[in-house]
């Protein structure tokens, strides 16, 4: 394993840890406020963390690497769904 590969794994691990910690903050905010938007963001950041962990653990070849980005697509879709859900709930209230 080259030095560049080890640095890449270290950076990807740092990104996974950061996404996990951000998700924990959203978990705390959801417990305090009870707002579902925080649950959507919690799930999306943990999906980001899973995508980083998947890239580290499996080290896919370049032709199969795109499958690991599906978790990121799910994460962004969860964020969009959370924002839409929040706006619809706010519009219903007088």
CA distance 54 to 64: 12
User: Which pLDDT value is given to residue 50?
Assistant: 92
CB atoms within 10 A of CB 46: 21
Q: How confident is the model at residue 2 (pLDDT cuts 50, 70, 90)?
A: confident
Residue 66 or residue 86, greater confidence: 86
User: Which pLDDT value is given to residue 29?
Assistant: 96
Tell me how far the alpha carbon of residue 28 is from its chain's centroid. Answer: 16
Give me the mean pLDDT over the 27-33 stretch.
96
Report pLDDT digits (tens) over 32-81: 999 999 999 999 999 999 999 988 888 766 667 777 788 899 999 999 99
Residue 57 or residue 16, greater confidence: 16
Domain definitions of the chain by residue range: 3-92
pTM of the model: 0.85
């Amino acid at each position: 394993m080259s030095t560049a590969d080890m640095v890449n794994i270290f950076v990807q691990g740092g990104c996974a840890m950061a996404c996990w910690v951000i998700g924990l903050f959203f978990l705390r905010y959801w417990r305090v406020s009870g707002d579902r938007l925080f649950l959507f963001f919690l799930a999306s950041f943990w999906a980001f963390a899973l995508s980083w962990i998947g890239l580290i653990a499996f080290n896919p070849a370049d032709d199969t690497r795109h499958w690991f980005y599906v978790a990121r697509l799910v994460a962004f879709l969860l964020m969009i769904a959370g924002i839409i859900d929040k706006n619809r709930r706010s519009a219903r209230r007088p």
